[in-house]
Amino acid sequence: MLFNSLPFLVFLPIVFGLYWYVFNKQLRWQNCLLLIASYFFYGWWSWQFMALLALSTFLDYVYGFSVASPNRKKARLFLWLSVINNLGILAVFKYYNFFAQQFQLGFEMLGLHIHPVLLQIGLPIGISFYTFHGMSYVFDIYRGKQKPISNFIEYAVFVAFFPLLVAGPIERATHLLPQIQNRRIFNYRQAVEGCRLILWGMFKKVVVADSLASIADNIFNNYPEHNGITLVLGTIAFSFQIYGDFSGYSDIALGTAKLFGFELLSNFRFPYFSRDIAEFWRRWHISLSSWFRDYLYIPLGGSKDGKGKAVRNTFIIFLVSGFWHGASWNFIAWGFIHACGFLPLLLLDRNRTHVKEVVAADRLWPNGKELLQMFTTFCFVSFAWIFFRIHNMSNAVDYVKSIFTNYRNPAESLSYLSIFFYILPLLIIDWQFRRNERRLEISKRNVFAALSSRVVMYTIYTLTALFLLNAIIQKENMSFIYFQF
């Protein structure tokens, strides 16, 4: 079920009403409702894979008790069983065909011809997210940060909670399970914040991302026909398309969770205002990057064992992150590019320069240095997006070459300047809210500022409703990009 669809717009108020007005006095019934609603939400897309979700959930639930054993050999054994189970599911459904084809190519280079059996099955939606939920639960038990939970319903809600089920954020058991186990009381302010986030996320998706998608698709799919300036505009369009699409999903997920009394982990904190690549990765897909940091980078030794191992671990993290996104060399190349961009900061001990503060935290506008830093970081990130967007590596390289070599018919680029009609309002509003991505507070500096902010926000809400209504009528509900991962 898509957030930007009529079924969801019917589904959400029904579940909300039952949750707060029918089952509000019994926590266990609220959790049961959430579990049923989550599986219905997931099954709306493909009921065939509901059993896989249930099996993955049950296995990690069972493993958790053995991982908590004081016998460390037994605990380690079941920890590895959980890892093998979860990665095995990913390997079969997401990576088997890729490796089979690579082995075939390798044997053909040796003059041998094999014909591997390929799986003719679709990728279960959300598989990369809910398997990581399960592994984080087991890892935290092994580390002593989480006790095994006896109530299966509560654990199943943690894995399958519908706002985050198919595209995150990737939650931690230590953060979400206590909220599931404790009674929730309706909070009007929290619900209002949730509605604002949902509307803002819908604006990012249906107004910005979906509008830019048609432009980016036209340019990328026909790149040999376009000049270098147009290709640059196409790259910018895709950069904001994927940001609007994925951060829009995350905003809707966070907002929906707020309606039910939950606070999910932040997944985006205005990444295109980053001043270097390290800061970008602290602001982009935060739940994934922090997951790899805590469960892979640090166990590998992090940066404590010298620069050599820190460099090795950094490349491992980025390459694995790229491969997590898809079984294709272009994603690995995308991860490699980011590792190369991160490397100078690591070697110069500047990778933690911008850890906590936002850009121009106490000022209205950034200074010249900050503008240059944000511009160069955005250019680097956008360059890497080319390899993310084009799955064929040779085509991606040709696209980059064409940017610098194709100068014919520069006038054609004028027609694509319309992308800034969607990008500039997004940047302006993001800049205003950069200090707190959750609340989207209306400015109260003075009467004029407050009135102006309200006019802007209500205009956005109106545009969102019109675009969403048109998409539903035209049956053009575009799926979210990260559903494929």
Q: What is the pLDDT of residues 84-108, one digit of tens each?
A: 999 998 888 888 888 788 778 887 7
Q: Are residues 142 and 193 in the same domain?
A: no
Residue 84's pLDDT is what? 93
Q: Are residues 164 and 236 in the same domain?
A: no
Question: Letter for the amino acid at 463?
Answer: L
Residue 3's pLDDT is what? 83
Answer yes or no: 325 catalytic: yes
Q: Would 330 be classed as within a structural domain?
A: no
Q: Are residues 30 and 179 in the same domain?
A: yes
Task: Give the integer Cα–Cα distance in Å for 424 and 255.
Answer: 24
Q: Are residues 102 and 248 in the same domain?
A: no
Q: Would 371 be classed as within a structural domain?
A: no
Q: Are residues 124 and 197 in the same domain?
A: no
Task: Give the integer Cα–Cα distance in Å for 146 and 77.
Answer: 18
Residue 125's pLDDT is what? 85
Q: Are residues 225 and 110 in the same domain?
A: no
Q: Which of 133, 226, 285, 325 is catalytic?
A: 325
Phi, psi of 291 (to 5 degrees): -65, -50
- Asked if residue 359 lies in contact with residue 273, where contact means CB atoms within 8 angstroms, the answer is yes
Domain span including residue 237: 189-275+399-485
Q: Are residues 123 and 209 in the same domain?
A: no
Task: Give the integer Cα–Cα distance in Å for 216 and 233.
Answer: 8
pLDDT-flagged residues of the chain (< 70):
437-458, 461, 463, 466-467, 470-477, 485
Residue 441's pLDDT is what? 57
pLDDT digits (tens, 9 = 90+) for 137-158: 999 999 999 999 999 999 999 9
Q: Would 287 be classed as within a structural domain?
A: no
Percent of the chain with pLDDT over 70: 93
Return the half-sphere exposure (C-beta side, CA atoms, 13 A cut-off) of residue 172.
20
The DSSP H or E segment spanning 342 is helix 329-347
The DSSP H or E segment spanning 459 is helix 447-473
Please say which residue of 185, 218, 238 terminates a domain.
Answer: 185
Q: Are residues 262 and 407 in the same domain?
A: yes
Task: Give the integer Cα–Cα distance in Å for 394 and 400.
Answer: 10
Task: Give the integer Cα–Cα distance in Å for 30 and 37.
Answer: 10
Residue 476's pLDDT is what? 64
Q: Are residues 118 and 165 in the same domain?
A: yes
Q: Would 20 be classed as within a structural domain?
A: no
Q: Would 102 be classed as within a structural domain?
A: yes
Please say which residue of 185, 213, 241 terminates a domain.
Answer: 185
Q: Are residues 435 and 461 in the same domain?
A: yes
Residue 448's pLDDT is what? 45
Q: Would 233 be classed as within a structural domain?
A: yes
Answer positive or negative: Cα dihedral of 263, 378, 244, 297.
negative
Helix 27-46 × helix 152-160 angle, to 10°:
40
The total domain count for the chain is: 2
Q: What is the pTM of this model?
A: 0.90
Query: Closest Cα partner for 427 from 344, 371, 356, 468?
Result: 371
Which residues, at least 6 apart from 466, have a Cβ–Cβ distance to it below 8 Å?
none
Q: Are residues 223 and 142 in the same domain?
A: no
Q: Would 447 be classed as within a structural domain?
A: yes
Q: Quote the distance between the C-alpha of residue 315 and its chain's center.
A: 20
Task: Give the integer Cα–Cα distance in Å for 479 and 354.
Answer: 34
Query: Closest Cα partner for 432 from 414, 418, 419, 449?
Result: 449
Residue 473's pLDDT is what? 66
Q: Would 358 be classed as within a structural domain?
A: no
Task: Give the integer Cα–Cα distance in Å for 322 and 340.
Answer: 13
Q: Are residues 113 and 260 in the same domain?
A: no
Please say which residue of 147, 170, 185 terminates a domain.
Answer: 185
